[in-house]
């Protein structure tokens, strides 16, 4: 089998040879190094490699090249080798252009000239490109076939579940010839959708998420009934706790209701997370954290709905929706928050049929030529606007407030200003969603003047509010008026612990009103709603878990 290709493209022969030399020195035994001295030559080489079935792992292209600059070349290269990772080689003066390319063209990294010493400046970038390429793979995604209606909410839910869990699949619309043929071959009807055809030929009709998870090989059953630490929730806080807990020798299980990553996992690019100067997508960050947790021995249970928590002596018992349970010495609650439902006529009826909560990246290819609407004014909404601007005819960001300054990071506001097909509409609310089998129109209202207008609409993506969804903890731990879980100093009243607190000491900083049950991330009352703080709290919670276990 041929070695994967690392390609370097630079019009300066000396620079081209130097890059190829440094790449060959470290990667030559595992990769074939191919160099080209123009964008056109590189595109021809990529076409020939693809025809021969040789995979391309990564491309390093110089920004300033005559005839076709590096960004223009990488745009065209994406059509030929869409799974190859991409980096720009730039002079210091071109840094702004490189950052724009990262934001708009989805370039993975940029690398400044000179890159000496390569051990510090070149190889870490290439290592990251190769790691990402290997995790994504370079094979056609057709292991699991999903058959369904284009405007079926259940079909969307199945695709979204697979995508967020990084399970390769291929989508077939049963209203098109290929989809209809496969539906008949599977012995199913339109009433059965979604229908999943697994690699071994077995067929699932209208499966639940738990059934899908089991069928595609995700772990849903715990290996044992007792652990040192149960982490509930697989967002950044939960993954942080899982990594630190398992790496420090605790028997750790992470329980996730749908897919690891939480809201952050759906972000198209997080650019203000420490250590990722070029930004990182939520999916990439989640995948790395999940693999890191698994490396240290964390057990990850997917599609398990936690419905109860009960202290039994020194044990903390977690109850599942199917009646089963597991127990541990300690628990970290890291369930995060969910987007609040948009309360307007027609919205709930069209959910999953043109109305989506979160970025729903699986819908991006269907947005071509359409006017997309995004509701919300925080970072998640801004990141989605940047992402969908690459696919849609136009993107309108609907913001209830007078401006973005109070809710969105400055860097993201400046990005949006530079994207031609993104329009920010402040003081605007959705008052109705209209359509037959899918979203077709929106009624918008200016909340300052009261004026309304009806607009033709493609998909609408909603990013409003933060609902902690902690009703299952009612009567177990102390929560604030909005449902967020109180911890540590926030539990104290006139210097005294909450009623029923059984220990002589005060609750630790991240400890709930139940000793041994800690809280991390967005679900904690008064927490900072940022990825970095969630990861930090997840790690801090494990430190406090150790302190608690030493007392037992």
Cβ-contact 212, 220 below 8 angstroms:
no
Same domain for 371 and 454: yes
Tell me the CATH number at 203. Answer: 3.40.30.10
Of the residues 93, 118, 136, the one at which a domain ends: 136
Q: Edge to edge, what strands does the sheet with 422-425 contain?
A: 355-357, 460-462, 371-375, 394-398, 422-425
Cβ-contact 364, 388 below 8 angstroms:
yes
Q: How far apart are CA 347 and CA 366, in angstroms?
A: 20
Q: How many CB atoms are located within 10 Å of the residue 526 CB?
A: 10
Q: How far apart are CA 182 and CA 193, in angstroms?
A: 12
Whether residue 216 is contained in a domain is answered as no
- Nearest one of 219, 259, 210, 223 to 238, comparing CA atoms: 259
| Per-residue pLDDT at 136 | 67
Domain that holds residue 169: 144-207
Whether residue 213 is contained in a domain is answered as no
DSSP string, 355-388: EEES--GGGGGGGBTSEEEEE--SHHHHHHHHHH
What are the φ/ψ torsions at residue 322 (nearest 5 degrees)?
A: -90, 5
Decide: residue 48, CB within 10 A, 0-12 exposed, 13-18 middle, 19+ buried. Answer: exposed
Same domain for 439 and 358: yes
Within 314-452, residue ranges assigned H as helices are 379-388, 410-418
Same domain for 77 and 63: yes
Whether residue 197 is contained in a domain is answered as yes
Same domain for 386 and 524: no
Within 258-397, residue ranges assigned H as helices are 282-295, 379-388
| Per-residue pLDDT at 329 | 98
Decide: residue 381, CB within 10 A, 0-12 exposed, 13-18 middle, 19+ buried. Answer: buried
Same domain for 474 and 452: no
Residue 410 corresponds to which tokens in the numbers above?
């400055």
Q: How far apart are CA 478 and CA 459, in angstroms?
A: 39
- Nearest one of 74, 109, 117 to 90, comparing CA atoms: 109
Whether residue 221 is contained in a domain is answered as no
Residue 251 corresponds to which tokens in the numbers above?
């028997």
Residue 90 corresponds to which tokens in the numbers above?
């730039």
Domain count, the chain: 4
Cβ-contact 433, 344 below 8 angstroms:
yes
Q: How many CB atoms are located within 10 Å of the residue 52 CB?
A: 8
Dihedral over Cα of 69, 43, 38, 131: its sign: positive
Dihedral of CA atoms 313, 314, 319, 324 in degrees, nearest 10, equals -90
Residue carrying structure tokens 């043109």: 354
| Per-residue pLDDT at 246 | 97
Cβ-contact 53, 3 below 8 angstroms:
no
Q: How far apart are CA 316 and CA 518, in angstroms?
A: 11
The angle that helices 379-388 and 410-418 make with each other, rounded to 10 degrees, is 30
Per-block mean pLDDT, blocks of 10 residues, the chain (552 long): 88 91 94 94 92 90 89 88 89 71 72 86 90 70 81 94 87 93 92 93 94 94 97 97 97 95 81 80 86 94 96 97 97 94 96 92 89 95 93 96 93 94 97 96 96 97 91 96 96 91 96 98 93 96 97 88
Q: How far apart are CA 318 and CA 308, in angstroms?
A: 6
Cβ-contact 196, 158 below 8 angstroms:
yes
DSSP state of 552: -
Same domain for 353 and 442: yes
322 Cβ contact partners less than 8 Å away, ≥ 6 residues apart? none
Residue 181 corresponds to which tokens in the numbers above?
């043929």
Q: How far apart are CA 339 and CA 347, in angstroms?
A: 14
Largest CA distance in the chain: 75
Same domain for 488 and 388: no
**Cα angle, residue 364 at apex, residues 360 and 370 outer, rounded to 5°:** 120
Going through 268-354 in order, the beta strands assigned E by DSSP cover 299-302, 306-312, 315-320, 325-333
What are the φ/ψ torsions at residue 84 (nearest 5 degrees)?
A: -70, 140
Q: How far apart are CA 441 and CA 449, in angstroms?
A: 21
Model confidence, pTM: 0.79
Within 248-378, residue ranges assigned H as helices are 282-295
Cβ-contact 99, 105 below 8 angstroms:
no
Whether residue 212 is contained in a domain is answered as no
Of the residues 462, 480, 514, the one at which a domain ends: 462
Tell me the CATH number at 363. Answer: 3.50.50.60
Same domain for 471 and 358: no
Of the residues 433, 462, 491, the one at which a domain ends: 462
Tell me the CATH number at 91. Answer: 3.40.50.2300
Whether residue 215 is contained in a domain is answered as no
Same domain for 286 and 326: yes
Whether residue 214 is contained in a domain is answered as no
Same domain for 473 and 458: no
Residue 421 corresponds to which tokens in the numbers above?
């097909």
Same domain for 109 and 131: yes
Cβ-contact 210, 221 below 8 angstroms:
no
Q: How far apart are CA 504 and CA 349, in angstroms?
A: 53
Same domain for 21 and 128: yes
Whether residue 290 is contained in a domain is answered as yes
Cβ-contact 487, 519 below 8 angstroms:
yes
């Amino acid at each position: 089998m041929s070695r994967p290709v690392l390609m370097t493209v630079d019009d300066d022969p000396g620079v081209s040879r130097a890059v190829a030399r440094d790449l060959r020195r470290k990667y030559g035994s595992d990769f074939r190094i191919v160099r080209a001295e123009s964008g056109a030559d590189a595109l021809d080489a990529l076409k020939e490699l693809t025809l021969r079935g040789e995979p391309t792992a990564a491309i390093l292209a110089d920004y300033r090249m005559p005839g076709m600059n590096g960004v223009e070349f990488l745009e065209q290269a994406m059509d030929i080798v869409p799974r190859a990772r991409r980096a720009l080689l730039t002079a210091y003066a071109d840094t702004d252009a490189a950052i724009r390319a990262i934001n708009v063209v989805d370039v993975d990294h940029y690398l400044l000239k000179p890159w000496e010493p390569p051990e510090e400046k070149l190889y870490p970038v290439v290592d990251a490109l190769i790691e990402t390429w290997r995790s994504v793979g370079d094979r056609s995604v057709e292991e699991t076939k999903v058959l369904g209606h284009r405007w079926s909410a259940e079909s969307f839910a199945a695709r979204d579940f697979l995508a967020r869990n990084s399970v390769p699949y291929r989508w077939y619309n049963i209203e098109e010839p290929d989809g209809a043929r496969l539906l008949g071959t599977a012995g199913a009807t339109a009433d059965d959708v979604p229908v999943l055809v697994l690699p071994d030929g077995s067929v699932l009709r209208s499966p639940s998420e738990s059934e899908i998870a089991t069928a595609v090989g995700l772990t849903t059953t715990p290996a044992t009934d007792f652990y040192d630490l149960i982490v509930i929730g697989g967002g950044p806080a939960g993954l942080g706790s899982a990594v630190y807990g398992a790496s420090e020798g605790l028997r750790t299980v992470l329980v996730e209701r749908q897919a690891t990553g939480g809201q952050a996992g759906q972000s198209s690019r997080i650019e203000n997370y420490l250590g990722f100067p070029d930004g990182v997508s939520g999916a990439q960050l989640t995948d790395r954290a999940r693999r890191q947790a698994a490396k240290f021995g964390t057990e990850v249970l997917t599609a398990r709905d936690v419905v109860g928590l009960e202290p039994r002596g020194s044990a903390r018992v977690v109850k599942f929706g199917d009646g089963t349970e597991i127990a541990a010495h300690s628990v970290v609650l890291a369930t995060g928050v969910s987007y609040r439902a948009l309360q307007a006529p027609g919205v709930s009826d069209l959910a999953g049929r043109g109305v989506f909560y979160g970025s729903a990246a699986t819908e991006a290819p269907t947005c071509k030529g359409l006017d997309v609407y995004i509701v919300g004014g925080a970072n998640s909404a801004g990141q989605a606007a940047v992402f969908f601007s690459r696919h849609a005819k136009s993107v309108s960001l609907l913001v209830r407030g007078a401006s973005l300054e109070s809710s969105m990071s400055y860097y993201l506001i400046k990005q949006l200003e530079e994207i031609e097909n993104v329009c920010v509409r402040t003081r605007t609310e959705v008052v109705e969603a209209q359509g037959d089998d899918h979203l077709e129109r929106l009624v918008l209202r200016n909340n300052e003047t009261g004026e309304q207008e009806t607009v033709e609409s493609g998909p609408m993506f909603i990013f409003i509010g933060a609902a902690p969804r902690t009703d299952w903890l009612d009567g177990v731990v102390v929560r604030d008026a909005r449902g967020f879980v109180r911890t540590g100093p926030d539990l104290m009243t006139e210097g005294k612990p909450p009623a029923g607190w059984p220990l002589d000491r005060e609750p630790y900083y991240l400890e709930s009103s139940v000793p041994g049950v800690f809280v991390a991330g967005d679900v904690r009352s008064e927490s900072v709603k940022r990825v970095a703080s969630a990861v930090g709290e997840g790690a801090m919670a494990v430190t406090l878990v150790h302190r608690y276990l030493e007392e037992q």
